[in-house]
Amino acid sequence: MEQTPEELAEDLLSRLRMGGIWEPAGMGLTYMRTGEKEIELMAQENTSHAAQARIRMGILVSGLGWQVKEDKVQINDVVNQDPFQRHMEEMVRRQEIAQTTWKCQTPDCGCLLVAFPLEERKWVFHGEEEYQLPDGNVVAEERWTVDVTCPICDSVAPMDPYEFGLIAGDELMNEFVLPEVTYNAVERPRVIELTDKRSNNLIISGTVCPFTGATMPPHLRGIPLMFTATTGEEE
Ligand SMILES: [Zn+2]
């Protein structure tokens, strides 16, 4: 049952969207899918560990019949960086790639995802999916997409929630709009303020919305949320 490294890589690569980013765990390498059977190495950390991993990955991936482009690899100095700074820079870099390269999947459309009406997104729950970990254990994970409609060709782009976050930013991620009620994640100072005012609009949500029974996106469960009635402006 166990997948070989080749099968694992093949599986990951084939599911990667065009322009999607692949960062194999613990290797210090950042790849982007750039073609039908082509990936490009965007960045490598300046450690000997990452340099060796780069050679190994090159052999592995080209062995699967994929091209690995390495023309403009950015070498990132991680040796003199603290982990927090590193993390922040990584996020900025991913966001830049997402916002400047991810496009509508319709052939010949080419509208950038960042130009989609992101505030009209719909969170769609597709049920649970089981998958096998490298150690053989099977785990179930909820599968969600954030669907946004292309303003040019009207096709619906189902985005992975993490990818949607890169494109749309925190503000839209922290808001969940149902037809009846809108939730917003609130930071601690606002929680204090609302509690002092004895506001009735503060709630900590579990798995489902207590008013409508809708399933809440996982990242908004168990944290303070403010809820307000959804105003039907768009309808
Ligand atoms: Zn389009």
Per-residue pLDDT tens over the stretch 28-77: 999 999 999 999 999 999 999 999 999 999 999 999 999 999 998 999 88
96-119: pLDDT as tens digits:
888 988 889 888 898 999 999 999
Domain region containing 141? 107-173
The CA 110 to ligand 1 mean position distance, Å, reads 6
The CA 71 to ligand 1 mean position distance, Å, reads 30
pLDDT at 85 over 90: no
- Count up the domains in the chain and report the number: 3
> Can you give the pLDDT at residue 5?
80
In this structure, the answer to whether residues 17 and 82 fall within a common structural domain is: yes
The CA 114 to ligand 1 mean position distance, Å, reads 12
In this structure, the answer to whether residues 86 and 9 fall within a common structural domain is: yes
Alpha helices in the chain (DSSP H): 5-15, 48-63, 83-101, 161-168, 170-173, 188-196
| DSSP letter assigned to residue 123 | E
> Can you give the pLDDT at residue 147?
96
The CA 148 to ligand 1 mean position distance, Å, reads 10
In this structure, the answer to whether residues 131 and 195 fall within a common structural domain is: no
Q: Residue 150: pLDDT band by 50, 70, 90 thresholds?
A: very high
Q: Is-above-0.85 flag for pTM?
A: no
Q: Residue 232: pLDDT band by 50, 70, 90 thresholds?
A: low
In this structure, the answer to whether residues 157 and 137 fall within a common structural domain is: yes
The CA 167 to ligand 1 mean position distance, Å, reads 16
| pLDDT mean across residues, the chain | 90
The CA 20 to ligand 1 mean position distance, Å, reads 17
The CA 107 to ligand 1 mean position distance, Å, reads 8
The CA 182 to ligand 1 mean position distance, Å, reads 28
In this structure, the answer to whether residues 219 and 235 fall within a common structural domain is: yes
In this structure, the answer to whether residues 77 and 17 fall within a common structural domain is: yes
Q: Decide which of 120, 143, 173 is a domain's last residue.
A: 173
In this structure, the answer to whether residues 12 and 83 fall within a common structural domain is: yes
The CA 116 to ligand 1 mean position distance, Å, reads 9
In this structure, the answer to whether residues 162 and 182 fall within a common structural domain is: no
CA gyration radius, the chain: 21
pLDDT over 70 for what percent of the chain? 97
The CA 172 to ligand 1 mean position distance, Å, reads 21
> Can you give the pLDDT at residue 234?
46
In this structure, the answer to whether residues 95 and 183 fall within a common structural domain is: no
> Can you give the pLDDT at residue 179?
93
Encoding tokens for residue 211? 């008013």
pLDDT higher for 231 or 215? Answer: 215
